[in-house]
Structure 1
Amino acid sequence: MSAEWESIFLSLRLAGLVTVMLLVIATPLAWWLARSRDPLRPVVEALTALPLVLPPTVLGFYLLILLNPQSPIGSFWREWTGGSLTFSFAGLVVASIVYSLPFAVQPLQTAFASVGRGQLEAATSLGAGPLDRFLHIVIPHSIRGYITAAVLSFSHTLGEFGIVLMMGGSIPGETRVVSIALFEAVETLDYDTAHTLAAGLILFAFVTLLAVFALNRRFPVHVR
């Protein structure tokens, strides 16, 4: 397998894993942000959205400090797994989750906020518990939010550069994702490879956006 294909498959593996984990993490957080009246909600909302305005290198720098083998978290990880969180695939997963979190939370928060309270109250009066209400009312009414969150999380993770370079460097088969391969191709004046990788990313971005728009047309917005 060529180095470029190895980078592509590594990127797809990273983006797929991060997307699944983000949907799991973002669901309860987005539900709380959409429904809670806690005074701390604006603070949590701002912290969640922080990666949208912070340079990736800033996040990468502090994650390096937080997760390095000498830190409490990094030391625990090394004792538990025998590996390091920095300059490893596991570190890329953690960094990507942090950096792409708002792309999963915000579409879900918007979708959850659109679910009518009347439907939930009616289900409660019929004896449905919180989990039943969420699984049978909230999720079916929030399919568009889940589709958007999944596509944005996957695409954003696939195109990350700054934070993956800071956290992972360029280790073939471990941290050299497609954005790093593209950067290195340009740096070494290998424009044929750079054009191929860049065109592939553009095509992927167009196809995924086309798919999400087509899927969203099949799931109409539910008005309260």
Structure 2
Amino acid sequence: MFDSQALWLTVKLASVTTALLLLLALPLSYCIVFPRTRLRVLLEAAIALPLVLPPTLLGYYLLVGLGPLTAAGRTLTRLLGHTLAFSFSGLVVGSVVYSLPFAVQPLVAGLRSVDRRYLDVAATLGTSPVRSFFRVALPLTRPALLTSAVLTFAHTIGEFGVVLMLGGNIPGQTRTLSIVLYDLAENGEFDAANRIAFTLLTISTAALVLLYLRPTRRAS
């Protein structure tokens, strides 16, 4: 029997993560591309760190950081009334951190490709840098914004290590499709595992088709 509850939770997690990361990626990409300081190199390196860290290591640090062993974790627990670990909210936090480079890097590449002359003209007309970003640069990078959203969504759909470490395997709360697939394969239930695997493959393929189909439509 197909686990529709895990499917809904996975899509919900990917949707919430994508929405939050798009909001977060805009100011971060601005800070990386436009300020003329060396600190932006450190910021860009920190954002890219999840690309090279093992997911279980990242999940472990988040588990410890959000738990009662740290001052930040204890403060969050008092404010929320529960620990973020082993909850859907905790999964969102972990997914945001883990998928951060997939949201920021396409936007950074898109903003760096914008002809600076447009921004210079806007500056001569008295437009502030922030206003130029939203009124001039951002509209020119709409394909990069779509890439950011699609890659973030697809990457979150297939998360495993961070989700397992931070959320465990609680049905209806933290049990996503990737965890269901792992459990089924471990128990030798390969018919059911194949259905889950095909679902994940279909969602990821559909997301990439959407991403690569849009330029074709524009060209026609």
Q: Same fold (TM over 0.5)?
A: yes
Amino acid at match of 1:191: F
Q: Hey, what does 1:115 align to over in structure 2?
A: 114
Contact 2:184 / 2:193 at 8 angstroms: preserved in 1?
Answer: yes
Residue 73 of structure 1 and its aligned partner are, at CA, apart by 1.8
Q: What is the CA–CA distance in structure 1 between the aligned matches of 2:11 and 2:68, rounded to whole Å?
A: 27
Unaligned 5+ segments in structure 2 are: none
Q: What is the CA–CA distance in structure 1 between the aligned matches of 2:178 and 2:57, rounded to whole Å?
A: 18
SS in 1 for 2:3: helix
After TM superposition, the structure 1 = structure 2 runs for residues 25-40 of structure 1, keeping only pairs within 5 Å, are 25-40=24-39
How does the TM-score come out when normalised to structure 1? 0.92
Q: Hey, what does 2:204 align to over in structure 1?
A: 205
Amino acid at match of 2:118: Q
Q: What is the CA–CA distance in structure 2 between the aligned matches of 1:185 and 1:26, rounded to whole Å?
A: 36
- Segment of structure 1 superposing worse, 53-62 or 114-123: 114-123
Q: What is the CA–CA distance in structure 1 between the aligned matches of 2:65 and 2:160, rounded to whole Å?
A: 20
Q: Hey, what does 1:96 align to over in structure 2?
A: 95
Q: What is the CA–CA distance in structure 1 between the aligned matches of 2:33 and 2:132, rounded to whole Å?
A: 16
State the Cα deviation string for residues 109-146 of structure 1 (Å, max 9, x = none): 00111112211121222333344322221121011111
After TM superposition, the structure 1 = structure 2 runs for residues 1-224 of structure 1, keeping only pairs within 5 Å, are 4-218=3-217
State the Cα deviation string for residues 15-53 of structure 1 (Å, max 9, x = none): 000001111111111111122321222222111111111
Contact 1:69 / 1:85 at 8 angstroms: preserved in 2?
Answer: no
Unaligned 5+ segments in structure 1 are: none
How does the TM-score come out when normalised to structure 2? 0.94
Contact 2:2 / 2:195 at 8 angstroms: preserved in 1?
Answer: no
Q: What is the CA–CA distance in structure 2 between the aligned matches of 1:180 and 1:62, rounded to whole Å?
A: 20
- Segment of structure 1 superposing worse, 27-36 or 8-17: 27-36
Moved segments of 4+, more than 4 Å: none
SS in 2 for 1:170: coil
Residue 197 of structure 1 and its aligned partner are, at CA, apart by 0.7
Percent identity for Structure 1 against Structure 2: 42
State the Cα deviation string for residues 161-190 of structure 1 (Å, max 9, x = none): 001000001001100011001111111222
CA RMSD between the two structures: 1.6
Q: How many residues align?
A: 219
SS in 2 for 1:90: helix
Amino acid at match of 2:45: A
CA gap 1:173/1:210 in 2 versus in 1, 3 angstroms: same
Amino acid at match of 2:182: F
